[in-house]
Amino acid sequence: MITLYHCTAARSFRPLWTLEELGLPYDLRMLPFPPRALAKDYLRLNPLGTIPLLLDGDTRMTESSAITQYLVTRYGPTPLAVAINEPDFGAFLNWLHFGEAT
């Protein structure tokens, strides 16, 4: 079972939205923001205290865009993922990572 640690109005909305679009079952764990200050127990799971945190078996991820890319690649095929041989692949990756880098 996939577990996503999420805060309202945080970057964890990206993987949450992706999980919903893919129709995957998941366990959503809501935390107060910022969890490193308001949910000290969370630091045992993620010493950085950042949101999101995605757990999927042995996979642990904390970067929202990377989680999104992981989910569509791992649990596809899905039209949400643009394949490497499609003309829009570069634009897809640029759009996916735009929010984190800009």
pLDDT, tens only, 1-60:
999 999 998 999 999 999 999 999 999 999 999 999 999 999 999 999 999 999 999 999
Give residue 97's pLDDT. 84
Distance from C-alpha of 63 to C-alpha of 42, rounded to nearest angstrom: 16
- pLDDT band of 101, cuts 50, 70, 90: low
Strand partners, 74: none
Q: Ramachandran region of residue 2, left (φ > 0), alpha (ψ -120 to 50) or beta? A: beta
Give residue 102's pLDDT. 58
Give residue 95's pLDDT. 87
Q: Residues 73-82: what's their mean pLDDT? A: 91
